[in-house]
Amino acid sequence: MKKILLALLGAVLFNIQSVHAEGVLTVDALGDGIFALIGQTAGRTPENHGLNANYGVIDTPEGAILIDAGASTVAARVLDTEVRKLTGKPVKWVINTGAQDHRWLGNGHFAAQGAQIIALARTVATQTRLGKGQIEALQRELKTQMDGTEPHPSRQALADDRQTLTLGGRTLQLQYFADAHFPGDAVVWLPKERILISGDYIYVDRLLGILPESNATTWLDAFNQALALQPARIVPGHGRVCDAAQAQRESGDYLAFVVNGTRKLADDMAGVDVAVQTLNDAPAFSHLKNFSDLHRGNVNRAYLRMEAGN
Ligand SMILES: [Zn+2]
């Protein structure tokens, strides 16, 4: 009896989650069986299941490829439902582009269904270091939605920084350029379609966040290398599908502004307060969502790292 009740409860919860998915992710069909699932640019909330980032879906005759797995088992189920709706197939492969919570903590859900989890060794190293702490931090915001979520990094981490993968007859590259938002961030590049699924190397519509784990200097380098692929279209880590020019304006130019500005001020030993004050005015970027919440902290962290010489 208890089992039946639990199963019923599970079915009810699952239904509610599926309904929520409608408002949480916007689907963008890019052709050739490639889809972008665009999350909100707001913060992580119980309503959006922490799916405030973007995800990629690639249909193949053998099953679906999902790029990034969501921040919890609940979030992974929402993604799973969307993938089945779009492709009519289960997820056979999950590729992680990064080590931030919403890129990979849903891996366990897909692994339990037999999906292969694919990530670079660098990415897995950061996931392994941060996973437990990420779950604890998310429990404060997402509460019981984190129940049952355990870190599940790829068991077959890929040693080379550039991997060509053939999955279900589709060729894609999983490539690391440099540490960025998190150490070990990577992109998925579809060379034939010239589509870049950039993970957290690129943000549009909202301001990117320079976190304690971020390195703005190497991020700028990674950004430039990613754009050198000359993508026709970009599924950014956050924000709507864009072209290279928008990515340049809203991520590349901002990183250059912060890196060049803090470098000069650190060379002058201006001090962090003066740096934040001097670079506070950034009219080219102040229209981006989250600017007033993030910009000063971004400059602060970038300056301190520059001053420390790392
Ligand atoms: Zn992110």
User: Which three-class secondary structure string do you get for 85-139?
Assistant: HHHCCCEEEEECCCCCHHHHCCHHHHHHCCCEEECEHHHHHHHHHHHHHHHHHHH
Distance of CA 13 to the CA centre of its chain: 26
Distance between Cα 200 and ligand 1 center (Å)? 5
**Would residue 258 count as lying in a domain?**
no
Distance between Cα 236 and ligand 1 center (Å)? 10
Distance between Cα 6 and ligand 1 center (Å)? 34
Work out the percent of the chain whose per-residue pLDDT is above 70.
Answer: 93
Distance between Cα 306 and ligand 1 center (Å)? 23
**Would residue 278 count as lying in a domain?**
no
Residue, of 15 and 22, whose pLDDT is higher: 22
Work out the percent of the chain whose per-residue pLDDT is above 90.
Answer: 87
pLDDT at 7 over 90: no
**Would residue 305 count as lying in a domain?**
no
pLDDT attached to residue 178: 98
Distance between Cα 116 and ligand 1 center (Å)? 22
Rounded to two decimals, the pTM is: 0.92
Distance between Cα 1 and ligand 1 center (Å)? 42
Distance between Cα 9 and ligand 1 center (Å)? 32
Distance between Cα 182 and ligand 1 center (Å)? 9
pLDDT at 46 over 90: no
pLDDT attached to residue 21: 54
CB atoms within 10 A of CB 121: 16
Distance between Cα 40 and ligand 1 center (Å)? 11
Distance between Cα 26 and ligand 1 center (Å)? 17
Location of structure tokens 């931090």 = 137
Q: Domain tally for the chain?
A: 1
Whichever domain contains 87, its CATH number is: 3.60.15.10
Which amino acid, residue 280? N
Q: Identify the three-state secondary structure at position 10.
A: helix
The region of weakest confidence among 6-15, 79-88, 259-268, 284-293 is 6-15
Distance between Cα 5 and ligand 1 center (Å)? 37
| Mean pLDDT computed over every residue of the chain | 93
Distance between Cα 3 and ligand 1 center (Å)? 38
**Would residue 98 count as lying in a domain?**
yes
Q: Where in the sequence is the domain holding 98, given as residue range(s)?
A: 2-206+232-243
pLDDT attached to residue 289: 97
Q: Which phi-psi region, left, alpha or beta, contains residue 19 (left: φ > 0; alpha: ψ -120 to 50)? A: alpha
**Would residue 216 count as lying in a domain?**
no
Distance between Cα 181 and ligand 1 center (Å)? 8
pLDDT at 213 over 80: yes
Average pLDDT for 47-63:
95
**pLDDT-derived band at 20, boundaries 50, 70, 90:** very low
pLDDT at 72 over 50: yes
Q: Please give the C-alpha separations between residue 79 and each of 21, 39, 168, 208, in angstroms, as whole numbers.
A: 8, 11, 20, 23
Average pLDDT for 232-253:
98
Distance between Cα 69 and ligand 1 center (Å)? 12
CB atoms within 10 A of CB 243: 12
pLDDT attached to residue 19: 36
**Would residue 283 count as lying in a domain?**
no
Distance between Cα 280 and ligand 1 center (Å)? 23
pLDDT attached to residue 292: 97
Q: Which residues pair with 310 in a beta bridge?
A: none
Distance between Cα 197 and ligand 1 center (Å)? 13
**Would residue 74 count as lying in a domain?**
yes
pLDDT attached to residue 22: 59
CB atoms within 10 A of CB 290: 17
Average pLDDT for 218-225:
98
**Would residue 35 count as lying in a domain?**
yes
Average pLDDT for 118-125:
98
pLDDT attached to residue 18: 38
Distance between Cα 237 and ligand 1 center (Å)? 6
pLDDT attached to residue 108: 98
Distance between Cα 166 and ligand 1 center (Å)? 26
Distance between Cα 239 and ligand 1 center (Å)? 10
Average pLDDT for 280-296:
98
Residue, of 253 and 43, whose pLDDT is higher: 253
pLDDT at 133 over 70: yes
